[in-house]
Structures are given as structure tokens and as C-alpha cells.
Structure 1
């Protein structure tokens, strides 16, 4: 399960620290609201660890299914 986190981070174009809300992403030069996926990651980072693990398992499942196609 945890071994999929680097793949999730690469897929979302964020670092592992950013994936878990440990650091703020660098400004990208665009103004306006954060992309929806980024808002979701930030919301997941605020969840209890058990719920974060559940979300990670769900993402791992989706990525595994996509890789199998």
C-alpha cells in the first residue's frame, strides 16, 4: 500500500511531502484557485491517519487497474 505513494505523487505532480500536506507547493506563476486535485490532496492531508490510509488504498487500486489496461 505505501509503496504506491511515490506513484501517486508522480501522477499528481507533487512531492510526497506535498501529498501529505507537509510543505506548501511552490508558486507556479498562475493566479486563481488551486486545481481541484490539489484541493483534494490538501483535504486528505487534514483527515485522520486511518482515513488517509483508506484514501491511499483507493488510489492504489485505481492506479493498479489503470496500469493493467
Structure 2
């Protein structure tokens, strides 16, 4: 099973995601794996259409 948690980067803290995005990622990480997969599929679809 894939791990959908956000990767840890060794960049300075100010270079991290916007606070809102960070909060959303933390909420997603707390969800069950099935819901994480569903969200990942939606994100993949949106990003593929760009």
C-alpha cells in the first residue's frame, strides 16, 4: 500500500507549503488509507489535466 504522507524536505521552514496547504495535508494524513487514496486519485486527475 502506498504511503500518501507529504515528503519531508530539508529546506528552510519558510520555503514550505503555504499554511493552508500544510493544514490540509495534515488533515489528509489523519484520514483512513482508503480516503487518502480517493483524494490522491482526484489530485492525480486534476494535475493530469493541466
For Structure 1 versus Structure 2, the TM-score category normalised by the shorter chain is 0.5 to 0.7
Taking only aligned residues, the RMSD between alpha carbons, in angstroms, comes to 2.9
Structure 1: state its 5+ residue gaps. Answer: 3-16
Give the ranges of 4+ consecutive aligned residues of structure 1 lying more than 4 Å apart after TM superposition: none
Listed as ranges, the matches of 1:1-69 within 5 Å are 20=5, 28=13, 35-66=19-50
Which runs of 5 or more residues in structure 2 are unaligned? none
Say how many residue pairs are matched: 45
